[in-house]
Amino acid sequence: MTTHAQEIDRYRKQTKKSHAMYEQADKVLPLGVSSNFRTFEPYPIYIARAEGSKMWDVDGREYTDFSMCFGALMVGHANPIMVKAVAKAAGEGTLYGMPHDRELKAAELICERFGLGQMRFTNSGSESTMHCLRLARVYTGRDKVLKFEGAYHGGHDTALVSVKPPKAKLGSARHPKPLPVGHGIPEGTVKNTVVAQWNDIQSVREVLQTNDNEVAAVILEPIMMNVGVIGPRDGFLEELREICDEFGCLLIFDEVKTGAKLAWGGAQEYYKVKADMVCLAKAIGGGLPLGAFGASREVMNEIAAFRSFHAGTYASNPLATSACITALDKVLTKDVFKRVTRLGDMLAAGHNRIIKKHGLAACSVNIGANGTVFWRRKPPTNYREWLDQDFDAFWRYWHMNLNRGVIPQAQCYDEQWTVSALHTEKDVDHMLEVFDEVARAMK
Ligand SMILES: Cc1ncc(COP(=O)(O)O)c(C=O)c1O
The confidence score (pLDDT) of residue 170 equals 95
pLDDT the model gives residue 185: 97
Q: How many CA atoms lie within 13 A of 334 on its CB side?
A: 3
Among 211, 332, 192, 213, residue whose Cα is nearest residue 262:
332
**Looking at ligand 1, which atom is closest to the CA of residue 129?**
4
Strand partners, 236: none
- Report field, pTM of the whole predicted structure over 0.95: yes
| Averaged pLDDT, groups of 10, the chain, 443 residues long | 93 98 98 96 98 98 98 98 98 98 98 98 98 98 98 98 96 96 96 98 98 98 98 98 98 98 98 98 98 98 98 97 98 97 98 98 98 98 98 98 98 96 98 98 92
**CA 276 vs CA 22, 63, 214, 267, 291: distances in Å:** 44, 40, 18, 13, 17
Q: Tell whether ligand 1 has an atom less than 6 A from the beta carbon of residue 148.
A: no
134 lines ligand 1 (CB under 6 A): no
Query: Cα torsion for 309, 313, 315, 320, to the nearest 10°?
Result: -170
Q: How far apart are CA 154 and CA 20, in angstroms?
A: 31
CA distances from 317 to 92, 99, 124, 298, 326 (A): 11, 9, 13, 25, 14
Three-class secondary structure of residue 380 per DSSP? coil
Burial class (CB in 10 A: 0-12, 13-18, 19+), 298: exposed
271 is catalytic: no
Rg, Å, the chain Cα set? 21
Would you give the DSSP letter of residue 98?
A: S
Per DSSP, the three-state class of 359 is coil
Is 152 assigned a catalytic role?
A: yes
DSSP state of 332: S
Catalytic residue among 22, 139, 152, 397: 152
Measure 161 CA to ligand 1 centroid, in angstroms: 14
Active-site residue, 254 included:
yes
DSSP letter at 177 equals P
Find the 4 Cα to ligand 1 centroid distance in Å: 31
Tell me, using a 6 A CB cutoff, whether residue 258 lines ligand 1.
no
